[in-house]
Amino acid sequence: MRQPPSGHEKLKVGFNMKIIAKEDFNNFVNALINNNSFNVIGVKAKRDKFTFAPIDSAQELRLDYDVTLLPPKKYFFPQRETLFTYDLAGGFSAKGQAAEPKRMVIIGVHPYDIVALLHMDEIFRETKSDPYYFEKRDSSVIIGVNIQKMSKWNFSPYMGTATTEYGYDIMLTDLGNRYAINVGSEKGQELLDKYAKNVTSALARDIQLVGQKKREIMQLTQQKFDFPTELIPELLRKNYEESSFWERHSEPCLACGSCVLVCPTCYCFDVKDNPDLTLASGERIRTWDGCLLEDFAKVASGENFRSTRPTRYRHRYFKKGKYLYDRFGFISCVGCGRCGSNCLPNIANPVDLFNDMYHNTIGTVTAGAEPEVQIQTNESINYVPKLATIIKKQAMTHMETLLEIKLDDGSDLGHKPGQFVEISVFGVGEAPISVSSPPTKKGSFELCVRKLGSVTTKLHTLKEGDKVGIRGPFGNGFDAEFLKRKDLLFIAGGLGMAPLRSLFNYVLDNRKDYGRVTLLYGCKEPRELLFSDEMIALASREDVDFKPTVNWCPENETWTGNIGVITTLIPQVDFDPDKTYAIVVGPPVMYKFVLHDLRERKVPDDHIIVSLERRMKCGVGKCGHCQMNEIYVCKDGPVFNYSKIKGLPEAL
């Protein structure tokens, strides 16, 4: 495992070790409870199980537990959390939640759950830091305890998480009638100094005994890996395409999501609005979600990018053992065993699966090179949208409406071609929509909205002057600067014209900077043609080669252009593949046929640029819905160079 992140520096264990009698420790806990500035959480018995919960007395603590039902992450990343509240009455307002006033002290965290929190820290810090998570994390105190009893499902010794030397503020080791205390932070030391009595320095025998206890912990597991766990990422890589293996292991899966919902390192979430009964006010909340649930990767159009049980089951293991390893440098499984113990058909134990995978893998498996990890954090996520006004509404087809929107604070959106925003209808929800206007349009921006889900259906009913919320722009857009002086072949299918238009119109607004420009645009039938006035105007331009097509033309409609799918236009265009860059945007089914025909025309893979659709709930790579293999479409895309993603099975 890599070194701990900043704020959890490893201290010299022996030098910082203290001793406290159990009676004095109980008095210390009671002193914290009696101080109203702390919210004291501890491990309590719940029938024959154990749980983290608020405690009223030190006598409730059960530090001899084996495992808790849910990990302590629930206090930093709650099952249900308010992101902001909104009020539609008497004006319009939306505001974020105030920070928790009380500091939280969590007592009795096992080392594997401490390491899991360190994993969560890096995940919630990457790209844009999550303020809701870190407000609680930074104001908390973690009092860990070394394992005394181990669940039969636990395999933390194999994952290097059965003990830890960092990540805690205070760590306890039970020595019979007393606890050894390792101080891991200034916060921990300050808490002891202020509230604990009769704390003494550890003697050499105490330090030696703690070392012995830790060695004994490593022998408590009843699970056994048949190979070094460092091989897990490479094992997974070699077995991605072994469909029979994943089908066999996932066949009994109930798709209940229990395994991911009890996991201490799972962080996927959904976002939804919760209006009050009057509909005049409400809140936007996030709730835990899971990649094993059937609709997790389903988009509003009905396309499900992980529709089968084996693919979802496989994704769970790849995310933990390969994708997060490649991104962060750690296998995001700490061996707590909660997944295995909560699985009714008993198929969620990683030890069983990986042992079977190891024995069924053909050839030698050796650990790959450690990934190069470069975690960057720019700023905090703002989940509260900016207020904006619809200043123009234009019906384009029976399914699409063009909205022109102006931010109420007077600022420009500041987007790049190909980026998207999250648009809110308060009380209904939030949806990702690509910006269809170019950055050269100042003062407002345009969104082409297809009526599909609840949010987009409601957007179609709004009028000019109505309020919406806007977050963004998000994602990786088209590199308009790189494309200068190059010949451009635009290929749009259906609604794909909307995001492609942002780049296409930018090119037209800066026409002298670009080479030859060709637009191939196809839709099902003439009445579905988007931006029809603009398309008609293109026909008279000499600096643009425009070729439209429809799949069919009903008898009651007029069409003089090409009839056939979009690929029937490609042979009609003359271009130099070495000088041309193809920008392709359309429905998922279109890509494989267009890409095939472009390759037939000798267009290099790195000369093909695509924009992909996925379910993007957060916009910053946190919720997990838009993940395709190791890539997050909302921040690594939605615009990709085809050469970078052609090897990703879930991409196209």
88 pLDDT exceeds 90? no
Q: Where are the alpha helices (DSSP H) in 462-573?
A: 497-509, 532-538
Residue 154: how many other CB atoms lie within 10 Å:
28
- Mean pLDDT, the chain, as a whole number? 93
Which residues, other chains included, contact 157 with Cβ-Cβ below 8 Å and sequence gap of 6+? 217, 218, 219, 220, 221, 335
Between CA 429 and CA 438, with CA 433 as vertex, the angle to 5 degrees is: 145
Length of the chain: 652
Q: Which domains does the chain have, with CATH numbers?
A: 13-84+91-217 (no CATH), 229-360 (no CATH), 385-474 (2.40.30.10), 487-611 (3.40.50.80)
Amino acid at 646: K
Put residue 129 in one of left, alpha, beta given phi > 0 → left and psi -120 to 50 → alpha. Answer: beta
The alpha carbon of residue 146 and the mean position of all alpha carbons in its chain are separated, in whole angstroms, by 31
CA-CA-CA-CA torsion sign (28, 30, 34, 40):
positive
Q: How much is the average pLDDT of 497-525?
A: 97
Q: How much is the average pLDDT of 386-402?
A: 96
pLDDT band at 3 (very low <50, low <70, confident <90, very high): very low
> What digits encode the pLDDT tens for the residues 275-287?
999 888 999 999 9
Please report the pLDDT score of residue 4 as a whole number.
Answer: 43
8 pLDDT exceeds 90? no
Q: How much is the average pLDDT of 438-455?
A: 95
6 pLDDT exceeds 50? no
pLDDT band at 98 (very low <50, low <70, confident <90, very high): low
pLDDT band at 72 (very low <50, low <70, confident <90, very high): very high
Please report the pLDDT score of residue 376 as a whole number.
Answer: 76
pTM: 0.92
The alpha carbon of residue 413 and the mean position of all alpha carbons in its chain are separated, in whole angstroms, by 24
